[in-house]
Structures are given as C-alpha cells and as structure tokens.
Amino acid sequence: MIAAEDAFDLIGSMENSFVGHLSHLAACTPGMQVIEREEFVLIDSGIPSTWHNFICKVRVAERDIDARIDEANAHFEERGLPVTWLLGPTTRPGDLAQRLTARGLTCVETVPGMIRDLRGFDRPADRPDGVTIRRLENRDELLCYAHVLATADPPQSGAVEFFNKTAATAIAKRRSVTYYLAWFEGKPVGTAELYVDNALAGVYSVATVEEARRRGVATALTVTALTDAFDKGRCLATLQASESGQGLYARLGFRSRCRFSFFKQDP
C-alpha cells in the first residue's frame, strides 16, 4: 500500500501525469504550442474544441490571480478558440472556481482522480467474446482511433482534426505512449491511451461507442493498458473516472485520491 506520508507527492504526480497526457502531442507538433510557466500551463492546439485547449497546473498568488485569469483567457479569445480550465488537487488559489464562475465559465464536470497499486497485479482473464484489442502503429490506425473518440459517449469534438495533425508525433512517441483500439464484430468500438512518465502509468481516453457498451469493452481496454504498464515496470497506475466509469474502475482495484474539475467557456 502507499504510505500516508507520500500522499502529497503522489497527488502531485497524478496531476502531472494528467497534464502530460493533455500536452505531450501539442508540445511536439508544428502549429501547436504548450507554454509552461511557474504559474500555469497553457495548451493551445489551434483547434476550435474545448477537448484540446487547456489552462492547467494553476498555482498563482492570490494578489496576481485576476490578472493571470484575464491574461490566459485573452490568449484564446484573440485566436477565437474555446478553452477548458482544469482545476486539480494542487490548484491555487483555493477560490479559483468561484473566480472563473464570476467570469461566466461553467463547471461542466468534476471527476475523481484514482490510483491503483500494480504490485501483485493479476493477469487478466480471457477477453469478452468477439472483442479484439490492437496497439496502434500507423497513421491510418490513429485516424480510426480518432473517429471512435469523435463518436463515443461523450463525443470528443475536434478529435479527427487533432490526430490528423499530431499523428506523426504520436507514432514517434510510442515508447512512452501506447494507443489502443478495441474491435467488436469487425468494427472499431473503443479506445484507450497509456501514458507513461517517470512516476506513474496513466490510463486515459477510455471511450466506447454506444452500441458496444456493457459488453466488457472498456474493461478489456483498461486491463490491457494496466498489463502493459506492469510489464514496463510501473508500480502505480492513475486515471480520471467519469460518473459512468467509477464502478468499473473500483472493481479493477482503483480508489479515489483527489478530484479534477473542468470549467468551460466558448469564445
């Protein structure tokens, strides 16, 4: 088990993993930018979608926060792009949510950040009948992955454009990032991403199209990613769980350690 005295470092690592997942492709793709400052990280994909533009890791002194909010929002307003503010367990100041709400942003979702100890990880049983999981290796497969994200529940607007622009980067980063596509009865029906940094293995973008839900697809994708994380020598895995996925992840041994909130406003 994880010692209580390590909790702060663990939670910071969970947030770093999530931000790494959000930013690693944009940071290496021409026409996109990631601005890392001590006070916040700004992710600008150039794509008009709140799924791909973020302000995160906000750690600002209270006396400066109003100016920094206006500065960050202005960056996207000038480009005519929508943006999501991600508030995590290390966000400062503590009243940032209220300040964003006062500016007309809406909290669209709050989800738990969850953790699982992979020591003693049991190999999975057989996958559900008819479900095949593939690790993606080329551009065409990644675009198929993007189309599933764009039609899953909830649909990720801008996913096809994003992966069309970042496919070369994604393929080049296969040592640290693995993309998975689930097939059922000859059709692509689910996605997942394994993002590995120096501290944690993060499981992200687990999504399933409506017609393939409740068939064990999300479980099979998650277990495949956890198996790969274990094989890569990682002891801890993290993810964020939507309301519909919390029961699934609890059954897989994850437990909640912190919370993340998403605030959005279109330009």
Give residue 3's pLDDT.
47
pLDDT digit string, tens, across residues 83-124: 999 999 999 999 999 999 999 999 999 999 999 999 877 766
Q: Poorest-confidence range of 28-37, 125-134, 144-153, 226-235?
A: 125-134
Count how many Cα atoms sit within 13 Å of the Cα of residue 62 in the half-sphere of its side chain: 4
Give residue 266's pLDDT.
55
pLDDT digit string, tens, across residues 189-206: 999 999 999 879 999 999
Give residue 154's pLDDT.
85
pLDDT digit string, tens, across residues 1-49: 454 335 548 999 999 999 999 999 999 999 999 999 999 999 999 999 9
Q: Say what the pTM is.
A: 0.93
Give residue 22's pLDDT.
98
Pick left, alpha or beta for residue 158 (phi over 0 → left; psi -120 to 50 → alpha; otherwise beta).
left
Q: Which residues, 6 or more positions from 37, have their beta carbon under 8 angstroms from its beta carbon?
A: none
One-letter identity of residue 190? G
Residue 200: name the closest of 226, 181, 174, 222 by CA. 226
Give residue 4's pLDDT.
38
**Burial (0-12, 13-18, 19+ Cβ within 10 Å), 102:** exposed
Say if strands 236-240 and 201-208 run parallel, antiparallel, or are unpaired: parallel
Give residue 163's pLDDT.
97
Mean residue pLDDT of the chain comes to 92
On the question of pLDDT at 127 being above 80, the answer is: no
Torsion of CA 11, 205, 212, 130, to 10 degrees: -90
On the question of pLDDT at 80 being above 50, the answer is: yes
CA-CA distance, 175 to 160, in Å (whole number)?
23
Cis peptide before 154 (omega within 30 of 0): yes
Count how many Cα atoms sit within 13 Å of the Cα of residue 264 in the half-sphere of its side chain: 13
Domains, the chain, ranges and CATH? 4-112 (no CATH), 117-258 (3.40.630.30)
Mean pLDDT of 51-68: 97
Residue 180: name the closest of 158, 200, 203, 198 by CA. 203
CA-CA distance, 189 to 194, in Å (whole number)?
17
On the question of pLDDT at 130 being above 90, the answer is: no
